[in-house]
Structures are given as structure tokens and as C-alpha cells.
């Protein structure tokens, strides 16, 4: 008798129960410090998630942002964003006063003004560090970790990161490849007098990380106490102007003379842009990563799993093949697909992190190879309801009846308009399709999409807080290809309270009970 083919066992198989969650980046939390922080407002948001019977809080990358304020273009793949530090927590230990913090309350409660934060919050953090030193470096972490212990534990990335930002401040903020040749890499800069001259400045940046990690651990503990897991996010690529590239130039495609990327990342023309998306990130020298057993990737994922319970990896298709754009190209139209060692990488990740919980952001036009890679890894992919409607047939992969259990469904993500915003601007063909498919009149389309997400076969459903609040286009968090005005929207504390006390949390909990989430 002929033998039947044996189906390979996927590398990962963690998403085995139905659940739901909310997408909200911490900068969008309420508060009166000009930006969301790890304060009581964050804990109150966790209270809402618990009251609503939700298991997951999904966030964007937590790293320190640079020009453009994008959490997907950070100065480090390992560090946290100091803007998220709650300054009020520094009053009791005597590092700041309420009067010193008070001017931040005059900043907008609805939009993050990153320029104003740079001018007002950074000096306060520096002042806190000065007083911290004078006070003999008191313990500021709730779990008792000292600054010295933190520095020792995180030394592999922290020392280079602190020196990088100290040098960046010293050179007036310009990109590292515009610095003098003697300091265009960590290895070279370590041999210069600036290493000693900027030691205090570097230690200040390490202190800001101490605050960030201590406060984030406390917030994560508060989430765990409420039965809530955090879904983190890492971009597949890192920013060109980052400590990662500066400290490890041998891992990236860089011009040997200038240090600039010789080719950059992006995607060809797509749903979001007719010219494609020219991200500008340097590309990996994958052969170097293969040669050392993907050591840098393991370190990056290890750091991510220390911060979050689940990690979503952005642009999963780039692990099969990535769009390589010449550094001189004006748009992403010009480029070529280059193969990446996807399965080899994920096999090494499985060996290093056998219990890893990873979500693959597999949006876009997927080739059979990408689909095969995702299925072989066993990682749950993503579906976007806003992409499901308007076609001429029922074959759209994002329509709920075409979804698979091992996946995550979203009405939209941080890169999409709010559902109400989408519905108000999309074609009548798509609106009509959505109304007929969901059997609704469209007057509460945001909630129609939330209910459809709950009902879907996908084991995990995640919806943006803006949709829960029934907000329109003004609440969009990011518009890909738009260089300015992104990442600014914030919720109000009264909105969170209303969700808890006004019946929304109870209604979401009833939906969870109805649909087994």
C-alpha cells in the first residue's frame, strides 16, 4: 500500500485558545505629562481590560524614537523610550518636585507634541539624574534592583547605547555617519578621549533606561495580576541612525567608506502608496548572522521577551525575501527581491526559545513561499477586516469565512484609519459589500467590525481603542508614507472611565462570553 505523506510539525504552536485584546500604544495613554506614561492612568487602562474580560494589551515598539517620532525607527532595538517614564514617581525620592513637573500639564492632552517634550521633559530627566547621583544612587525599582545591578545586567547593549547617545548629543544630533571618522563605530570611538570625556553623559542615558525598565516591570506586574498579557512589537529592520548599526556595522549592508547604507529596505507599490514605501533602513548581511548562529537576533528576541509576553514581528515576509532598494533610488519603485534565511533563523529561535509566543505580521501580497514559511513555523498570521471588502468574489483571504483558527483578526491596526474613518472615505462598493456581508446598516460600523472580530474563527481578536471609542479620522494613529503628524493621538482619562462605568466594558465581556473569548 502507498504510504501517506507525513505533515511536518510546525515549529511553534502557542495560540491554542480564543481570546481578545485591545491595541493602544503607551504614548496614547491619558495623563497630564504631555504623553502617556507608566502611571496611574496606565493602571486604570488595565482595569478596563480586566473589566471587559480581555486578555491582551497590544502595543507598538517601546524604543526611543528619533526624527519623525516613529516607534518603528528607534535609536536602539534594546532600549526603552524615556518619554514614557512617569516623572511623578520621582517626587517621593526627592529627585523632582511637583512644581518642576507642573509645566508639562500645559501641553496638549489630546496630541503628543514631541518637540515640546524634547524641550521640557529631557531637562527634567537630566535634573533627576543629577540629584540621583548626589543622593547616593537610591534604589528606585519596586523589585529592589539597584542602578548598578541594572547596568551590569544590561551591559551588553547599554554601554554602547549610552555612549552612542552621548556622542549624538555632543555632535548636535546629526546622524552618526556624519560624525568624525574616528567615532563612526563603537570599536573606533572606544579608543578616543571622548569615551572618558562623555562618561557622565553616557551614564545619564543609562539612568533613564533604569527608570524606564523599573517602571515598565511594575506596570507589567500589574497587568499580570489582572490576567493580562502584553503583546509587544519589533520591526524586522532597525533604524540606520541607531546604536545597533553604529555598534555592529559588520552585520549590515553599509558602504565601507561613508558608513551609509549601500541599499535600504522598503516595499514596492502597495495598498498604502503608489510609489511603494521607502523605509530607508539598512539591510542585514544575512551571511554574517548565519555564521554566528543568529546571535544578535537571539539577543534582540531575548530582550523583547523580557519586556512582553508575546512578540509581533513586523514585515514577516521579509524573512523569506526582502525588497532591496538602491540607496540612491528616489522611491521604492526601484528594487529587487532578495532571499533571506527565514526557516534557518526560526529553527534557531525555536531551539533558543522553545516556549516563544510570536505573531507574524504577514500582510500584503504573499507569495506561496511566504505562506509556506508561515505555515512551517506555525506562527499565527494577521487579517485586517478593512482589507476584506470591495472585491468581485468571495475569495478575499481577509473575509471572516476564509480565515483560519491560528491567526489574529483586527478591524485595523496602527497603520490603518479608524474603522469609522475608513468607512467615511472608502468607495461605495466597499461600503455596500461590508453592509451586505455583515448584515448591518453601517451606522455603527466601528462596533459592527468589533462584533465581527469577536465572531471570527481566528483564535485572537484585537481591536484598536479608537474603534472601541467610536472615533473618526482625527484619531488615526499613523498614515504610512506621511512624513509628519503621526503617532500623536491620545485618549482622555474621562474616556477610559466611561468605558468602565458606562457599560462598554460589560458589553465587551458579554461578547467574549457569547463567542468563547
Active-site annotation, residues = 314, 361, 415
Phi-psi region of 196 (alpha: psi -120 to 50; beta: other; left: phi over 0): alpha
Beta strand 460-464 with 358-360 is unpaired
Q: In what order do the strands lie in the sheet with 381-384?
A: 358-360, 310-313, 229-234, 56-58, 19-23, 460-464, 407-410, 381-384
CB-based burial label for 331 (10 Å; 0-12, 13-18, 19+):
middle
Beta bridge partners of 57: 22, 230
Type and span of the H or E element at 381: strand 381-384
Asked whether 11 and 346 are in contact (CB, 8 A), the reply is yes
Listed in order, strand segments (DSSP E) in 41-157 are 56-58
Asked whether 61 and 74 are in contact (CB, 8 A), the reply is yes
> If you search the block for the grid coordinates 532597525, which residue do you land on?
238
Kindly report the number of other CB atoms within 10 A of residue 431's CB atom: 17
Type and span of the H or E element at 195: helix 194-197
Asked whether 60 and 25 are in contact (CB, 8 A), the reply is yes
Distance CA 476, CA 420 (A): 10
Query: What is the gyration radius of the CA atoms in the chain, in angstroms?
Result: 23
Distance CA 203, CA 157 (A): 13
Q: In what order do the strands lie in the sheet with 263-267?
A: 277-282, 263-267, 321-326, 336-339
Beta bridge partners of 462: 21
Amino acid at each position: 500500500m502507498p504510504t501517506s505523506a507525513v505533515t511536518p510539525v510546525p515549529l511553534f504552536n502557542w495560540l491554542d485558545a480564543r481570546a481578545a485584546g485591545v491595541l493602544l500604544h503607551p504614548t496614547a495613554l491619558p495623563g497630564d505629562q504631555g504623553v502617556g506614561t507608566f502611571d496611574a492612568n496606565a493602571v486604570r487602562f488595565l482595569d478596563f481590560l480586566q473589566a471587559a474580560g480581555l486578555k491582551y494589551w497590544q502595543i507598538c515598539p517601546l524604543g526611543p524614537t528619533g526624527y519623525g517620532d516613529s516607534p518603528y525607527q528607534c535609536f536602539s532595538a534594546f532600549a526603552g523610550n524615556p518619554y514614557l517614564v512617569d516623572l511623578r514617581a520621582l517626587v517621593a525620592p526627592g529627585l523632582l518636585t511637583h512644581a518642576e513637573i507642573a509645566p508639562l500639564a500645559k501641553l496638549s492632552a489630546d496630541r503628543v507634541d514631541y518637540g515640546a517634550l524634547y524641550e521640557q521633559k529631557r531637562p527634567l530627566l537630566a535634573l533627576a539624574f543629577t540629584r540621583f547621583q548626589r543622593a547616593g544612587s537610591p534604589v528606585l525599582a519596586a523589585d529592589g534592583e539597584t542602578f548598578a545591578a541594572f547596568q551590569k545586567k544590561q551591559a551588553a547593549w547599554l554601554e554602547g547605547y549610552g555612549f552612542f547617545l552621548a556622542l549624538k548629543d555632543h555632535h548636535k544630533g546629526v546622524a552618526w555617519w556624519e560624525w568624525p571618522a574616528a567615532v563612526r563605530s563603537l570599536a573606533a570611538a572606544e579608543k578616543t578621549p571622548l569615551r572618558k570625556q562623555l562618561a557622565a553623559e553616557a551614564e545619564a542615558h543609562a539612568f533613564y533606561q533604569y527608570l524606564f525598565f523599573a517602571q515598565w516591570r511594575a506596570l507589567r506586574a500589574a497587568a499580570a495580576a489582572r490576567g493580562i498579557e502584553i503583546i509587544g512589537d519589533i520591526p524586522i529592520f532597525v533604524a540606520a541612525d541607531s546604536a545597533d548599526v553604529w555598534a555592529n556595522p559588520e552585520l549590515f549592508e553599509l558602504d565601507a567608506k561613508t558608513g551609509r547604507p549601500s541599499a535600504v529596505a522598503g516595499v514596492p507599490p502597495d495598498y498604502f502608496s503608489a510609489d511603494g514605501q521607502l523605509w530607508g533602513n539598512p539591510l542585514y548581511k544575512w551571511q554574517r548572522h548565519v555564521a554566528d548562529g543568529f546571535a544578535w537576533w537571539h539577543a534582540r528576541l531575548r530582550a523583547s521577551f523580557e519586556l512582553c509576553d508575546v512578540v509581533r514581528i513586523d514585515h514577516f515576509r521579509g524573512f523569506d525575501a526582502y525588497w532591496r532598494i538602491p540607496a540612491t533610488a528616489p522611491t521604492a519603485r526601484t528594487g529587487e527581491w532578495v532571499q533571506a534565511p527565514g526557516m534557518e533563523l526560526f529553527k534557531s529561535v525555536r531551539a533558543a526559545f522553545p516556549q516563544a509566543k510570536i505573531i507574524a505580521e504577514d500582510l500584503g501580497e504573499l507569495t506561496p513561499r511566504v505562506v509556506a514559511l508561515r505555515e512551517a513555523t506555525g506562527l499565527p498570521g494577521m487579517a485586517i477586516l478593512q482589507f476584506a471588502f470591495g472585491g468581485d468574489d468571495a475569495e478575499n483571504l481577509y473575509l471572516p469565512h476564509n480565515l483560519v483558527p491560528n491567526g489574529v483578526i483586527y478591524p485595523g491596526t496602527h497603520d490603518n484609519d479608524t474603522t469609522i474613518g475608513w468607512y467615511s472615505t472608502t468607495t461605495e462598493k466597499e461600503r455596500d459589500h461590508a453592509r451586505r456581508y455583515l448584515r448591518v446598516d453601517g451606522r455603527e460600523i466601528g462596533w459592527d467590525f468589533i462584533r465581527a472580530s469577536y465572531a471570527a474563527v481566528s483564535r485572537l481578536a484585537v481591536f484598536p481603542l479608537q474603534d472601541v471609542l467610536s472615533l473618526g479620522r482625527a484619531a488615526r494613529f499613523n498614515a504610512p508614507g506621511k512624513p509628519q503628524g503621526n503617532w500623536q493621538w491620545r485618549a482622555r482619562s474621562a474616556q477610559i472611565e466611561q468605558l468602565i462605568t458606562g457599560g462598554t466594558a460589560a458589553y465587551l465581556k458579554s461578547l467574549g462570553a457569547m463567542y468563547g473569548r
